[in-house]
Amino acid sequence: MPTVSASEAKVDELRHKKTMAGNSNTEAAVVGARAGQSLWLARATPRAWLEQGKKISVKNAPTHFGTVAYELVSDADNGKTSATIELSSRKAPKEAVLRFRHPKSAPIKGVTVNGKAWTEFNKDNETNT
């Protein structure tokens, strides 16, 4: 069972949506979802969950590609959101796509991965591949 931590209210909201939908589509959209050979992370995270100082932490989430863990930490007031991702080596996806949804819909201006500039991002879709 994945552990999703944004705040107790957010986890309860997620569980409520899952129950109301009768399936795990909402949870999969926030935790991790498969699209072909791609693994999407935080695809439908509500913008409010990434307001200044908030953190989303997903641990032990089962996916088609193995167990996944990630954490997003917002510093939205300073134009930054940092992410840490752990993918299973069991069956690696062709690509992992992480969605950064700024709480005020500000576009992505740049991405740094392991201290180096990264160009594989789409500011219109708010994604980083």
Q: Report yes or no: 108 and 80 within 8 Å, Cβ to Cβ.
A: no
The pLDDT tens digits of the residues spanning 99-127 come to 888 999 988 888 888 888 888 888 888 87
Query: Given pLDDT bands bounded at 50, 70 and 90, which one contains residue 17?
Result: very low
Mean pLDDT of 9-17: 40
The first and second tokens of residue 63, run together, are 């996916």
pLDDT at 25: 47
Mean pLDDT of 12-25: 41
Mean pLDDT of 24-41: 65
Mean pLDDT of 68-72: 88
> How far is residue 19 from each of residues 12, 54, 121, 122, measured CA to CA in Å?
10, 25, 33, 32
Q: Report yes or no: 89 and 123 within 8 Å, Cβ to Cβ.
A: no
What is the C-alpha separation between 118 and 129, in angstroms, rounded? Answer: 9
Task: Write the DSSP symbol of residue 113.
Answer: E
What is the C-alpha separation between 83 and 50, in angstroms, rounded? Answer: 12
pLDDT at 99: 86
